[in-house]
Amino acid sequence: MTEQVKLKLNDSFIIRWAALILIALVMFFAYMFVDVLSPLQTMLEKAPLNWTADTYGTFAGSEYFLNVFVFFLIFAGIILDKMGVRFTGILSAAVMVIGAAIKLYAISPVFAESNNALYNFLDSFWVSFPATAKLASVGFMIFGCGVEMAGITVSKAIVKWFTGKELALAMGLEMAIARLGVFAVFRLSPMLAESGTITTPVAVCCLLLCIGLINFILYFFMDRKLDQQIEMEEQEPEEPFKISDIGKLFTSKTFLIVAFLCVLYYSAIFPFQKFATSMLENRLDISAADAAGIFSWFPIGAMILTPILGWYLDHKGKGASMLMIGAILMMVCHLIFALFPLSGDTKIVAYLAIIVLGVSFSLVPAALWPSVPKLVENRYLGSAYSVIFWIQNIGLMLFPIIIGKALTYSNPGVAEAIQAGQEASYDYTLPMLIFASLGVLAFILGFWLKIEDKKKGYGLELPNIKK
């Protein structure tokens, strides 16, 4: 028995970390595509696309539409638990490529200038929402199904390869690699758009997603070998997943606290990323490239700290406490951008606020995702992640729309002035106060979670590695 355990692939330090790098790179490329247009909001508002802030907010929220209203993420969790990591991983990567290709076509001159039947049809209804934005939103919806499916697949794969080992560290490193994609795209996207067109960075990211699909195909063979070894070692097969298991998730108070903490926290992070470049550009009166350069440091802080915090969680614990501290830091960052009188002479304050947000974004995900296996059984772990992602997607879909409308409401006439070629800027006070309020609510849930953990002994404050 001992000899068989030693032969398992995930007992090899090199092989299990090689598997992690393969799947983490998929998320690196996916995160690049998610935010490829985020630093280019100002360009989108000008000809030939002429998107308003309201249009951009609706487009940004469309990524999550099918996951929320068609319950695709719930189905994705069922597919993952029924079909396994290998099948779901390749399917998710293929769906991302298809959705990305549609989005690329939508914003390309080929679609806008061809005056084809599809363009004419999309332009015939909801005339305040451009045809290019409609088709781009459809592509983004499809891509969103793939990226969220990939997210839960990667999470379950890491649990599979690292349970009893460096689980939080592995999840932290995966998130760090993914966030490096945010840094890369906020740096590269403006450069590629300025040297080519707005479609250039989107095309580059589409190509990278194709490489991500190849990565999942390579991972397929490693994972199949590990499964064979696990089956040989197990004395009794694990109880199979049942659809009724999903009901247990919606009746678990602690699980729902984690899920709603997740939606509140991430709704103040990812939607903020969509508007961060424009916010800094308007608050500091700087170029879009300079604003994107400032915000690009946000994922760097998170990238460096998340693996360190993952190591700390593995060896020392304190996961619930980290969630509370992260919520406080996130709230502080957004309040600075809402209330501090920023200008071109106070860039250092903007940098510090972004660093604070990066520290926050290290604490919460590093503690959140490794905590889920402590709350649910492994046979429906994929569904647990999918339910959390589904609830999270509700916020991620709604808040870009809410922020876009808040900008329009609090800045009457600005969008029309920009489209007319006049100098105008947005006041971001109201949107940033909305984001800060989410931090307050996330802190309250974090405090509640810590009380529940103390009562019921889930081990959220305990280390992952048992001595």
Per-residue pLDDT of the chain (467 residues; tens, 9 = 90+): 444 445 678 788 889 999 999 999 999 999 999 999 988 988 888 878 888 888 998 998 899 899 888 888 888 888 998 888 999 999 999 999 999 999 999 999 888 776 678 888 888 888 889 999 999 999 999 999 999 999 989 988 998 888 778 887 888 889 889 888 988 998 899 999 988 789 999 999 999 999 999 999 999 999 998 888 777 765 555 556 566 667 778 888 888 999 999 999 999 998 898 889 889 988 888 888 888 888 888 877 777 787 787 788 778 878 888 889 999 999 999 999 998 877 666 788 888 999 899 888 888 877 887 788 888 877 777 788 888 888 888 898 889 889 988 988 998 888 788 777 777 788 899 999 999 999 999 999 999 999 998 888 888 888 766 65
Quick one: residue 234, left, alpha or beta (phi over 0 = left, psi -120 to 50 = alpha)?
A: beta
Q: Which fold has domain 2-456?
A: Growth Hormone; Chain: A; (1.20.1250)
Q: Cα–Cα distance between 150 and 141 in angstroms, integer?
A: 14
What is the pLDDT, as a whole number, of residue 85? 92
Beta-carbon contacts of 351 under 8 Å, excluding residues fewer than 6 positions away, are 294, 297
Q: Cα–Cα distance between 20 and 13 in angstroms, integer?
A: 11
What is the pLDDT, as a whole number, of residue 227? 82
Structure token pair of residue 455: 């009562």
C-beta of residue 212 within 8 angstroms of C-beta of residue 25: yes
Q: What is the mean pLDDT of the chain?
A: 86
Domain boundaries, the chain: 2-456
Length of the chain as a residue count: 467
What is the pLDDT, as a whole number, of residue 466? 65
From residue 414, give the alpha-carbon distance in Å to each of 55, 99, 420, 428: 14, 32, 10, 12
What is the pLDDT, as a whole number, of residue 5? 45
Task: Give, for 416, the enclosing helix (H) or strand (E).
Answer: helix 414-419
Q: What is the largest CA-CA distance in the chain?
A: 75
Q: Cα–Cα distance between 51 and 29 in angstroms, integer?
A: 26
Cis amide linkage into residue 48, ω under 30° from 0: yes
C-beta of residue 363 within 8 angstroms of C-beta of residue 329: yes
Query: pTM here?
Result: 0.78
From residue 440, give the alpha-carbon distance in Å to each of 54, 261, 268, 353: 26, 11, 11, 17
What is the pLDDT, as a whole number, of residue 3? 45
